[in-house]
Structure formats: C-alpha cells, structure tokens
Amino acid sequence: MFKVVFLTQWKWSRTAVLAGVFAAFALPILSVQQAGVFAGPTRELPGHARRLLDTVQTWGIAYPLLALVLGVLVAVTAWAADHRGRHVYALALPVPRWHYVLLRFAAGGALLLAPLAALGVGALLASASVTLPPGLQAYPVALTVRFGLALLVAYAVIFSISAGTPRTAAIVLSAIAFLVAVEVLAAAVHAPIDPLQFLGSRVLSGPFGIFTGRWMLIDV
Amino acid sequence: MSNAIETRGLVYRAGKSFEIRDLALNVPAGSMYGFLGPNGAGKTTTIRLLLGLLRPVSGAITVLDRRIPREAPRVLQRTGYVPESPHLYSTLTVAEAIAFHHAFYPGWDQGWADELLAMFGLVRDRRLARLSKGEMGKLMMLLALAQRPELLVLDEPTDGLDPVVRRDVLSALLEYVAQHNATVFISSHLVHELERICDWVGVMDRGRLVAELPMHSFKSGIKRIRLSDPPALPGDTPFVLLNREPAEGSVETWVVRGWQPPMAQYFEGVGASVREVVDLDLEEGFVELLRTFRVNPD
C-alpha cells in the first residue's frame, strides 16, 4: 500500500521536490562561493571574518524559506486530489481513516528526505571547499538537522490543515478574521490588548520558532 | 434468507433542510436490489451511510453481517463501490489507477482485470482526466468487479452513458453476479433499466423509504382500474388506493396497490363495476407511489 501511495505522491509533487533538491544542494555551495572571497589566502585580513559571516547570514534567510515552501507544497499536493474528489475515494478504500492519513503523511515525508539529503551533501561539500579564518567553524550537520526539523514542522502543520474539509478551513480563517477585528477595534478605542501580537509570540515561541533566528552554515 | 444490508431506525441530517428519517432497509443476500427515487430523495446519502462514508445521527446499519461504521474497512474489503460521480485521481493513468486500487484489495483478480480492460477497450497509459464519461464508467466498474466483491453498491452507474457503453457495463455486471451470486444494490433513476435486471425494489423519497418489495409484487400489484359508478367514499378496501381520477361521465380511474383478481368482489359490494384492469409498468407505478406518498406521507 505504501508503495502505491508513495508513487502517487511522487507524481503529484515531483516538480516541487526536484526543484527543492536542486535548491537545497545549491544553497550552501553558493553561499560559501560568495563568502569565499573573504576566505582562502586573504583570510587573516582584518574584518574579513565579519564580512564572511555577514554573507553567510544573508544566505541563511533562504534555508527556512525553502523549508517552508517545500513543506507547504508537498503537504498541499498530498490532499489536493482527494479534495477534488471530495475524499470519496479515500474514504471508500478498505483501510481505517487513520491508516490512510498515516500512509499519505509518510509518503510526503519520505519525499522530503530527498531535499534534506541534498542539503546535507551540499553543506558538507561547501564546508570542505572553504578554508575558514581562525575562530570560525562550519556546521553542516547542525544546519541539515535544523532544515529537517523546519521541513517537518511546515509539512506537518499544513498537512493537518489541508487534510480538513473546507468547513475546517473556514473555521480557521474565521478565527483569524475575528482576531484581526478585535485588534482593529482595540486599536480604535486604545484598549491595552493586542491579540495578534499575543498569538504571534505564542506561535513563534513554539515549534515555529525553528524558522526564526540565524541559519548559519559557518559561525563562530 | 439473510440480508446483505439491513438498517433500522436510521436517522441522518445534512443541514436544516434535509433529513433521512427512520430508514429500515432489507436487502436480501444474493438479490439485485434496485434503489429508486427522484433527484434529491436521499439515495446517494443512504449509500454513503451504508458504506460508512457518513456517520448517522442514530440507528443501526449492518452490511455483510458487520456493523457500520465501526467495521467499515472490513466491509469495504468485500464491497465493490461505484459512486455517482467519478472520484478517482484524475492525474493517474488507467494502469496506475488499477495498480493503486489493487494494492488495497486482497481479493483482487488481476487476470480478470486484464480481461475487463481488453473487453472495455480501455487504454492503459491514458490519463483519467482524458477519459470520456463512458470510459470512466467502464473503469469504475472494472475496479469494482476485479476486487471480487460479495456486495456491489452502484450509485447511478450508467447515468449519462450511451446505450452501447451501458450495455457493456451491465453485461459485465450481470455476468459477475451470475457466476458469484453477489448481492447488488443499485441506485438509478433509469426505471426501465432496473425493471429489467432487479428482483427487489426500494423506493425512496424525501429521505424516507416509501416502499420495499419484490419486483414481481411491485409490477403485478399496482393496477389502473377503470370503474363505472364508483362509490364516493371507498370505505375499507382490500387494496391500497393510491389515486382516483374522474374520467368521462360516471367513470373513474383508480390506481391501486396490492391488487388480486378476487378483490373485484369489493366493487360488486359497493355497486361499482370494473370495466378494465391495466398493469402499470415500473415507471408508472413508481410515479403513482410517489404521488400518493407526497399527498399523504404518513
């Protein structure tokens, strides 16, 4: 069963996954190539370590973005075909609902291992290709693990939302609209409440926190 | 005879405007059960309840001796289902759709699937999105039959198909039933089609079961009778009076259910005389039943 579910998932999301593999492999190499200007024979010149870190940090924004986009695309494609058929086919298959959901989740998750592996290989190659100034180190494994966790969070959250019916989506959107309305009203009457900021701080201090902060292949 | 499908006191609500109420179905094992009803009667909803795709508010559903929805996956393993509208993944090819379906059914018969594929003239590498309505109908029937089911639940399986495709699909179905003694629960609004192939009939309207009886009783029991000098008030009749309409002069036309020839004595007793007794076909009987039900739902 897993094989056929995996093959359908591959068919639906292969463009995104292949683009993701290419991007994940290229990102660390490109970032190090650009930063390499400040490494190598001139690595001990004053200020070069700082500029190298700045370059790597600039490229670092792309990792969580890539994880987010890939997670969202694979999760959405996992359910798109079932949504079109109003889930009748999936529900009529002779497996418990949880089992089918697990198969779909595992199939998408397995496909996301490809860009994760590509990033790992790219990061290792990039780290090996550069001579770092004293005091700096490469963290290819840590970056790969973090990318993997970010992929998992994005994929899992969007997978669970898109598994729901349009009614579920309507409830989620209504809740957000309600918060926005409260925010606007509170601002209009200068009330000391800020539900969006409250929600944002809760979300970003939870699992979504992985998308924030510095994503550094090379750091002190 | 045991029942392949049985429901008791089934209640389901979809919003405020539609409700299935106290549905008590009895589909005998090995029968071809035609499930009739106008559009919006609740046929598709009932089928989805029977297969565990929807959950009832209350009531009991037993299919192939197992409780639904609790044991739905076990029942679905033994059931071939053709839904009202195509539900398969349209980006797959015919071969991929068959392989996908095959993986979920332990009783899958690949040899027969290949035979049906050739018989229906389906092209293996054509994407489902590019199939015509007839080809899609054939593919759905292929998938339902090749899993060797004990029960086939078919929701308007020939709706919109041309006569040639309809004949191909129905012959494959009838051949399978003849060989395996499977139970078939088939919903349709093509009354004449069901009249030809079914031995039981259930009629549904506005979420309620109007009638359920063997096809021969349905066909032979509903008559149109032309009467002279009918009584103004029929009183206690030995049959069910579905409808009465004045004709010319003192002549009236009555539509009755449960008619037997000895019942003509009733008319002699009330001073009326029977001029003509006409058999109604299934469609006419169906229309009269619905008309009566809508006038007097209880």
| pLDDT, tens digit (0-9, with 9 covering 90-100), for B73-109 | 999 999 999 998 888 898 999 999 999 999 999 889 9
Residues 6+ apart with CB under 8 A from A164: none
State whether residue B284 is helix, strand or coil: helix
- Give domain status of residue B146, yes or no: yes
Dihedral sign of CA atoms B200, B201, B207, B208 in order = negative
Has residue A204 got a pLDDT over 70? no
Calculate helix-pair angle for A62-84, A2-35, nearest 10 degrees: 160
Residues B265 and B186 in one domain: no
Restricting to B residues 30-69, those with a Cβ less than 8 Å away from any Cβ of A are 51-53
A107 vs B205, residue with greater confidence: A107
User: Which range among A71-75, A101-105, A180-184 shows the weakest confidence by mean pLDDT?
Assistant: A180-184
Residue of A5, A9, A89, A102 to mutate when probing chain B, most B C-beta within 10 A: A89
| pLDDT at res. A41 | 56
Instruction: Decide if A12 touches B, using CB distance below 8 A.
Output: yes
Residue A105 sits at φ, ψ, to 5 deg, of -65, -45
Residues B200 and B97 in one domain: yes
Of B73, B75, B96, the CB nearest to A96: B73
Residue B148 sits at φ, ψ, to 5 deg, of 50, 60
- Give domain status of residue B51, yes or no: yes
- Give domain status of residue B274, yes or no: yes
Residues B211 and B249 in one domain: no
Task: Give the ipTM.
Answer: 0.80
DSSP state of B146: H
Average model confidence (pLDDT) for chain A?
A: 85
Tell me which residue of A163, A15, A40, A33 sits closest to A102, measured CA to CA.
A163
CATH of the domain at B92: 3.40.50.300
Count, residues in chain B: 298
Q: Which residue reads 């549905």 in tokens?
A: B23
Q: How confident is the model over A107-121, as a mean pLDDT?
A: 96
Q: How confident is the model over B151-166, as a mean pLDDT?
A: 86
Domain housing B239: 223-279
Read off the pLDDT band of A45 (50, 70, 90): low
Of A3, A12, A89, the CB nearest to B91: A12
Cβ within 8 Å, pair B104-A94? yes
Beta bridge partners of B12: B20
Cβ within 8 Å, pair B73-A92? no
Contact A59, A27 (CB under 8 A): yes
Residue B53 sits at φ, ψ, to 5 deg, of -75, -25
Residues B237 and B124 in one domain: no
| pLDDT at res. B269 | 84
DSSP state of B1: -
Give the highest mean pLDDT range of A6-20, A29-43, B127-141: A6-20
Locate the chain B residue with the closest alpha carbon to A12: B91
Residue of B48, B87, B153 to mutate when probing chain A, most A C-beta within 10 A: B87
CA distance A37 to chain B (A): 48
Residues B233 and B122 in one domain: no
Q: Tell which phi-psi region holds residue B64, choosing left (phi > 0), alpha (psi between -120 and 50) or beta.
A: left
CA distance B154 to chain A (A): 13
Q: How confident is the model over B228-242, as a mean pLDDT?
A: 83
- Give domain status of residue B111, yes or no: yes
DSSP state of B129: G
Of B51, B81, B103, the CB nearest to A1: B103
Q: How confident is the model over B272-289, as a mean pLDDT?
A: 82
| pLDDT at res. A40 | 57
| pLDDT at res. B267 | 85
CA distance A105 to chain B (A): 17
Has residue B72 got a pLDDT over 70? yes
pLDDT digits (tens, 9 = 90+) for B176-217: 998 888 999 999 877 888 888 899 999 898 889 988 988 888
Locate the chain B residue with the closest alpha carbon to A96: B73
Residue of A3, A88, A97, A103 to mutate when probing chain B, most B C-beta within 10 A: A88
Instruction: Decide if A80 touches B, using CB distance below 8 A.
Output: no
| pLDDT at res. A28 | 92
Contact B144, B81 (CB under 8 A): yes
| Alpha-helix runs per DSSP H in A61-165 | 62-84, 88-92, 97-128, 140-162
Residues B22 and B115 in one domain: yes
Has residue B1 got a pLDDT over 60? no
CA distances from A71 to A14, A109, A114, A140, A155 (A): 13, 9, 12, 21, 4
- Give domain status of residue B158, yes or no: yes
Q: How confident is the model over B157-164, as a mean pLDDT?
A: 81
| pLDDT at res. B171 | 87
Question: What residues of chain B lie within 8 A of the CB of A84, using their CB?
Answer: 90
Residues B50 and B146 in one domain: yes
Read off the pLDDT band of A46 (50, 70, 90): low
Q: How many Cβ pairs within 8 Å bridge chains A and B?
A: 54
Read off the pLDDT band of A87 (50, 70, 90): confident
Q: How confident is the model over B246-261, as a mean pLDDT?
A: 82
- Give domain status of residue B296, yes or no: no
Q: What percent of chain B has pLDDT over 70?
A: 99
Residues B146 and B239 in one domain: no
Beta strand pairing call for B183-188 and B32-36: parallel
Contact B86, B155 (CB under 8 A): no
- The CA distance from A139 to B270, in Å, is 103
Strands (E), B189-228: 200-205, 208-214, 223-228
Residues B145 and B101 in one domain: yes
Of A5, A85, A92, the CB nearest to B81: A92
Domains and CATH numbers, chain A: 2-165+210-219 (1.20.190)
Has residue B297 got a pLDDT over 80? no
Instruction: Decide if B104 touches A, using CB distance below 8 A.
Output: yes
- The CA distance from A70 to B136, in Å, is 33
| pLDDT at res. B82 | 92
Read off the pLDDT band of B49 (50, 70, 90): very high
Cβ within 8 Å, pair A4-B91? no
Contact B140, B88 (CB under 8 A): yes
- The CA distance from A141 to A144, in Å, is 5
| pLDDT at res. B250 | 83
Structural domain count, chain B: 2
| pLDDT at res. B153 | 95
CA distance A83 to chain B (A): 10
- Give domain status of residue B295, yes or no: no
Instruction: Decide if A10 touches B, using CB distance below 8 A.
Output: no
- Give domain status of residue B293, yes or no: no
Contact B6, B62 (CB under 8 A): yes
